[in-house]
Structure 1
Amino acid sequence: MPKLLLGVQKKMIKELSVQIDTIGTEMEAIISSDREMARKFELLLSIKCIGNQAALHLMVFTEGFTKFKNSRQFASYCGVAPFPNQSGTSLKGRPRISQLANKKMKSLLDMCAKSSIRHNLEIREYYQRRVAMGKNKMSTINIIRNKLLSRVFAVIHRGTPYVNLYGHIT
């Protein structure tokens, strides 16, 4: 019985993988057919640790960067913008992140942030510096998510690829 189930699951995985590849190819064709979308997609890919999947999702959820005016609005939509946690004037808690968020985009930004901690020297040093100061690791990762969103919106609004100025500092 387990061999039968394993065989069925392998076939399902294979079929789903084919369908995912087909959808990915169609999405790339749609982006390449529109010059403006292709330009924005290339701008997004110029940011270190923003890959194809994150760029595609950013394009979709921002509706080609027309739905949100700035990175702060989109951060709120994704659930990476902290909000004050208080009740009245006397009960104040730590700022919290809203649970009413786009979890898919939040998880993609989380993966981008963790990738940038590994592969981007500037972000890695920032992360290590904050953790050494005793700051919460998840709070620091959330700040990095916001940094990435700020870079994304800056690149799109400027219309020029991301330039890593940190690499030019001696």
Structure 2
Amino acid sequence: RKFACYCGVAPFEHTSGISIRGKTQTSSLANKEVKVYLTRAAITAISWDPQMKAYYKRKIAEGKHKAVVINAVRAKIIARSFAVIRRQTPFVTLAV
């Protein structure tokens, strides 16, 4: 979660007391270079990874905005990467 925040992937809501104003947004203080690389990886994953492609199509069919779904794919890539590092095993794809 901290790395996702550092990369500018984690969304934050604008709150003031009990009111929530506007949509959630990512931080503008993010490491933009890492964010660009993650965006390119997300677009490539949507094109070539069957799981990510199915996820992307499902979210678009639900009416989500494309940028929001790409941000979610970036978060999934970060989560997968940290899971591989934590488990110290190669990533295994499951059948869709």
Q: Which residue of 1 aligns with 2:33?
A: 104
TM (norm. structure 1) is 0.54
- Which position in structure 1 is the counterpart of 2:11? 82
Q: Structure 1: which 5+ residue stretches go unaligned?
A: 1-71
Q: How many matched pairs?
A: 96
Deviations 1:145-168 (A, max 9, x none): 000000000000100000002x2x
Instruction: Flag as ranges the 4+ runs of structure 1 deviating above 4 A.
Output: none
- 2:72 matches 1:143: yes
Aligned mates of 1:144, 1:136 — CA distance in 2: 13
The aligned counterpart of 2:46 is 117
Q: Which runs of 5+ in 2 are unaligned?
A: none
Q: 1:22-101 maps to which residues of 2 (within 5 A)? A: 72-101=1-30
Q: 2:81 aligns with which of 152, 162, 165?
A: 152
| TM-score, normalised via structure 2 length | 0.94
Q: 1:81 offset after TM fit, Å?
A: 0.3
3-state SS of paired residue (1:99): coil
Of all paired residues, the percent bearing the same amino acid is 46
Question: Highest Rg: 1 or 2?
Answer: 1
